[in-house]
Every structure is written in structure tokens, then in C-alpha cells.
Amino acid sequence: MKKIAYFIILVALLSVSSCSMFELDNYEAPKETLQGVVVDAATGEPVLTDQGSEGIRVRLTELSWGDNVTHNPDFFCMPDGTFRNTKLFKGHYNVRIDGPFIPLLREDDRGVPLADETQDVDIEGVTEVKFEVQPFLKVEWVDEPQVINGKIRAKVKVTRGVSESEFREKIEPMGGYSNSFLNVTDIQLFVSYSPTVGYRARDERWSSSIEYSGTSFNNLLGETVTIESNGTIPSGRVVFIRAAARINYDTPKGSGTRRWNYNAPLEVLVP
């Protein structure tokens, strides 16, 4: 009889555990949506970016559970400067973006806030946000690209999106300031079969770059710069190109990631 009683108790315990396990599995999947756009505060134009970890990073931190919570997994903007996440739980969140622009969250060396232009939002249903930022650089096409013997020759113009004085005014109080932060370090010409062409979607056979040391690019700001693709692109192919440039400053500070400012992609037929 004792063995039968023990068996009945064991079965009952297992049944309770199984029910609890199934209850955990019955929680609704996250289904709220956050979508947004990042625009140039001066022009209202979208801030073009790369679709990957070198592009504009979006970081969400759910504030519903207090101050000491960890952030959600990061995600990134699409090349046109928009972002969308459709798998979020309903809640109160802080939304922060980091990219090739003046940081929205700025703190000094002690972690004391200097400015906080991130956004706190209640995410429920479809929630929309808009960030107005100050891009480091503006990259523009000059004329139509030419194709000569399987090589693409493009002309670009790079200007500052934020003045040197305002950059220093906002970045220097964060500590460790260097005049070298403003140096333009490179111009890239990315070539790809994909319309989402960029660092993450480039063909290394044909993409090229021009490197600059120190302040050597300063005299070229606002001037036309010619850059040519590498290798020989096969005749009859359609490719996409984009140009990008960056300065010697990482965002977020201390991350080691120097992000490019981009122009719009162009479609090129190689005759």
C-alpha cells in the first residue's frame, strides 16, 4: 500500500509540474512595433547609412522594470535611414540611436549627463518615432558616373554637416578631446550587384577607397574628388554604387566603430 501511495503522490507532482511548464509556453509572443526615421536636423533629409553594425545602431531599454535593466538586443537602420522592429513587448522604453552624427547622449568622464536627446516612449501597437540629428559629413554625387574599360569613374563632393566650432562645443566637454577627431580619413566607393550596396553589401573585386592622413583632406572639403573602381567589371552587367566618407571619431565614444556618412545609391550599366 505504501508503494502505491508513493506512486500516486509522484504522479500528482509530475502533473502539477507539467501544467506549470505548459503555462509558461502559453505566454503571447511579442507583437508590438516600433518604427522610425533618422533625418538631418538642418535639411530634413534622411540620414543614409549602412545596413549592418557599421550603420546606425538602435538600442532599446525597457524602463517598465526599473533603472537597473539591461537593454534589448541592438538592431540597425536600413540604408534609407528608417528602422522597424515588429517583435517587441508592450512597455515603456528608452530609444537611443548611435551613428555618424553628434551623439544624442553625451556624458562627461564621470558619467554625468551633459545632454540627453534620446526618447522615452510607450510602445503599444505601432509606435512611430523621429530623430533629428547633426551628421558629421554630407556626401554628394557630382555629375553622372562614367564607365571606361570596365571601370566606374565617379565624382563626389564631401562637406561638413556640422561646423567645426559646434562639433567641438558638443564633443569636448565629454573629455579626451582631440583636434584629430574632425579629420576626414577616407572616401569609399562601394560597388555591388545589390541595390543595398554599402560596406556590408560590397563586391571587394571592384570596390575601392582613397585614404587620407592627418588634415590632408581639409583642402578638398567642398571640392570635387574623383574615385575609380578596382578591377574590371564584366560587360553587360548592372551594378549599384555608393560613396561614403567618415571622420576620425567613433560612435558611441570608446566603441572603436567609426561610421560612414553615405550618399544615395546609383544604378550603373556596364556596356
- Structural domains for the chain: 32-133 (2.60.40.1120), 137-269 (2.60.40.2060)
> Strands, E, within the chain: which ranges?
32-40, 57-62, 75-76, 82-88, 91-98, 105-107, 113-116, 119-123, 126-133, 137-141, 146-148, 151-160, 184-192, 208-211, 224-228, 238-247, 261-262, 266-269
Distance CA(239)–CA(47), nearest Å, equals 23
What is the value of pTM for the model shown?
A: 0.88
| pLDDT tens-digit series, residues 122-169 | 999 999 999 999 999 999 999 999 999 999 999 999 999 999 999 999
- What is the average pLDDT value for the chain, to the nearest integer? 91
| pLDDT tens-digit series, residues 234-245 | 999 999 999 999
| Average pLDDT of the segment spanning 105-111 | 94
| pLDDT tens-digit series, residues 60-105 | 999 987 666 789 999 999 999 999 999 999 999 999 999 999 999 9
| Average pLDDT of the segment spanning 38-46 | 97
